[in-house]
Structure 1
Amino acid sequence: MPAYQTLYRDVLKYIEDNIDENLNVEALCKHFGLSKYHFHRQCSAYFGMPLISLVRLLRLKRAAFQLAYRTEEKIVNIAIMSAYDSHEAFTRTFRRYFNMSPSEFRQSPDWTAWQTKYSPVLKLRDKIVKDKHAFQVKVVDFAEVKLAVLPHLGSPKLLGKTIQSFIQWRKENNLPPSKSRTFNLVYDDPNTVAPEDYRFDICCSIKHDVPSNQHGVMNNTIPRGKCALIRHIGSDDSIGLPLTYLYYQWLTSSDYKLRDFPVFFERISFFPDVPENEMITDIYLPIEST
């Protein structure tokens, strides 16, 4: 990989690892031993935005995840963690990016307005994953797992409300990620299906059947069988790349065909509990011999 690509990947990793620190051009130049006269323009060209804008977007994304999925955290504390001097300053900026206040977003997470402003980071993630390395695929025998499932049907930008409801159900049933494995069943590509038809199941492993409940959580099973496995380390922003590789490159050159079960994820570590670049997601493609 060219040295400049490695540098920019390292810069992004450093920003994500130190998102709570005072991140500015001078500090980054000092850390990487680079000239401040060129570093800012070079990074802006590669990242597709000024460095300070990238830092602000990454902080706001973490804040939004904390608002939606860590409801025990006070909004004022999230504002301070996001480097805002006051609740009011945080609210003004958050509203500019999400078209709603932090408290409104916490009540009903909606990522619609955010997506347009965040699109340069999505492109950046794809670029870095493509530059980084070839995907490593393993063929594994997956043991059957009994699931509690909350289906989501509708725009992926509204998935947050479904996730909130499932988190609440897990809390009520004492099934935190430390006790129960976390899965997603992935039926559709959000880039190719109409938003109202998008299906995505939020799941966790269970030992006993799910009783009737107000959340709509139901029973399902991941069946035993062979799977092609890629471990994805990093943000969900770029998780489509290993999926595409599995379907359109690895599968077509293998001696396997697809089984009648959707691709699924196992979430090993979660954002915002860990930085985005440290997220671990195992991607399973159900297969069988041809």
Structure 2
Amino acid sequence: MAKDRDRFTDVVTYIEANLDEEIDLDKLCQHVNLSKFHFHRQCSIYFGISIMALVRLLRLKRAALQLAFRGDKIINIAIENGYESHEGFSRAFKKHFDKSPFEFRKKPDWTPWQTIYEPVLMLRIKNMNADPDCKVELIDFPETSIAVLEHRGAPNLLINTIQAFIQWRKINHLPPRISKTFNLVYDDPSSTEPEDYRFDIGCSTPHVIDVNEYGVINKTIPAGKCAVVRHIGSDDTIGEVVNFLYSKWLDNSYFEARNFPLFFERVSLFPDVPESEMITDIYLPIA
């Protein structure tokens, strides 16, 4: 079973790395060492959908992120993700997200997506739990002033807060290349009521932020020792790394969690890099 899990993890990884190309099923079968005579049936059993439906699913996920975080024309996003027309893309997108691409761009909501995407998510979580490749380093983190927009409410609406913060960031000329991107992570979404969920989106800033219509405020990440793990790839499994730090690593260390929330530094972000190449440093403040 572990061998199957590894192979189908490789299937997803291969597709994500080749979303801009026509997926060559012969090459994919060779890459994951599966017989092409049985490949379609095995994938359908494992994911609950056909291999080409899986390809479309992963392209639609990328399209949703592009709609939320890029200003590209919808037709350009459609073509980039394998659709020949605006109409065909809109039909497929609405089927999965219950909103047209235009409606999603105005007010993103990932709720309808979760059930459809669950087979891929569960595969990644199982793989991470079976083999948590978490190299923990200890560092002294310097005091860092940040500007943050506080998200308070359901995690599936977080994307709206991110959009607002990106807009504020553009207006204030603080792009990621000159200003580090941070998240303050107060709650576990799996054990927190949606209305109580707290998450801050922020960036480093050299000056005090004035009162503004976006609600962006000043906060400080205090200096102190942190355990840090570098996570590469989708956020799908970032929760498993956080759980590893809080349970296995912290339980087996002589440290205690410090009085400051866990935080992320987004070293590289989509769409600057493909989702599979995103880099997130996960910091657990300790004493």
Normalising by the residue count of structure 2, what TM-score does the alignment of the two structures yield? 0.94
Partner of 1:220: 219
The alignment partner of 1:256 has SS state of coil
Q: Following superposition of structure 1 onto structure 2, how do residues 111-190 of structure 1 map, counting pairs within 5 Å?
A: 111-190=110-189
CA distance in 1, matches of 2:48, 2:124: 11
Q: Following superposition of structure 1 onto structure 2, how do residues 200-219 of structure 1 map, counting pairs within 5 Å?
A: 200-219=199-218
C-alpha deviation, 1:6, in angstroms: 4.1
Partner of 1:10: 10
CA distance in 2, matches of 1:29, 1:150: 45
C-alpha deviation, 1:23, in angstroms: 1.5
Contact 2:9/2:123 (<8 A) preserved? no
CA distance in 2, matches of 1:69, 1:241: 25
Partner of 2:239: 240
Contact 1:147/1:221 (<8 A) preserved? yes
C-alpha deviation, 1:158, in angstroms: 0.7
C-alpha deviation, 1:43, in angstroms: 3.3
C-alpha deviation, 1:132, in angstroms: 4.4
Partner of 2:282: 283
Q: 1:126 to 1:286 in 2, by over 3 A?
A: same
Instruction: Please tell me whether residue 44 in structure 1 is matched to residue 56 in structure 2.
Output: no
| Superposed CA RMSD | 1.8
C-alpha deviation, 1:140, in angstroms: 1.1
C-alpha deviation, 1:39, in angstroms: 2.0
C-alpha deviation, 1:42, in angstroms: 2.8
Partner of 2:82: 83
Which amino acid counterpart does residue 202 of structure 1 have in structure 2? I
Q: Which runs of 5+ in 1 are unaligned?
A: none
Q: Percent identity?
A: 59
Which amino acid counterpart does residue 79 of structure 2 have in structure 1? I
Which amino acid counterpart does residue 92 of structure 1 have in structure 2? R
Contact 2:152/2:199 (<8 A) preserved? yes
Which amino acid counterpart does residue 96 of structure 2 have in structure 1? Y
Superposed CA offset, 1:106-153 (max 9, x none): 111111111121111210211232344431111111111100000000
CA distance in 2, matches of 1:230, 1:201: 20
Which amino acid counterpart does residue 266 of structure 1 have in structure 2? E
Superposed CA offset, 1:17-43 (max 9, x none): 111111253452355564311222333
Contact 1:98/1:113 (<8 A) preserved? yes
Contact 1:25/1:51 (<8 A) preserved? no
CA distance in 2, matches of 1:62, 1:273: 13
The alignment partner of 2:178 has SS state of coil
Contact 2:132/2:241 (<8 A) preserved? no
Which amino acid counterpart does residue 169 of structure 1 have in structure 2? W
Paired positions, count: 287
CA distance in 1, matches of 2:151, 2:269: 19
Instruction: Please tell me whether residue 25 in structure 1 is matched to residue 30 in structure 2.
Output: no
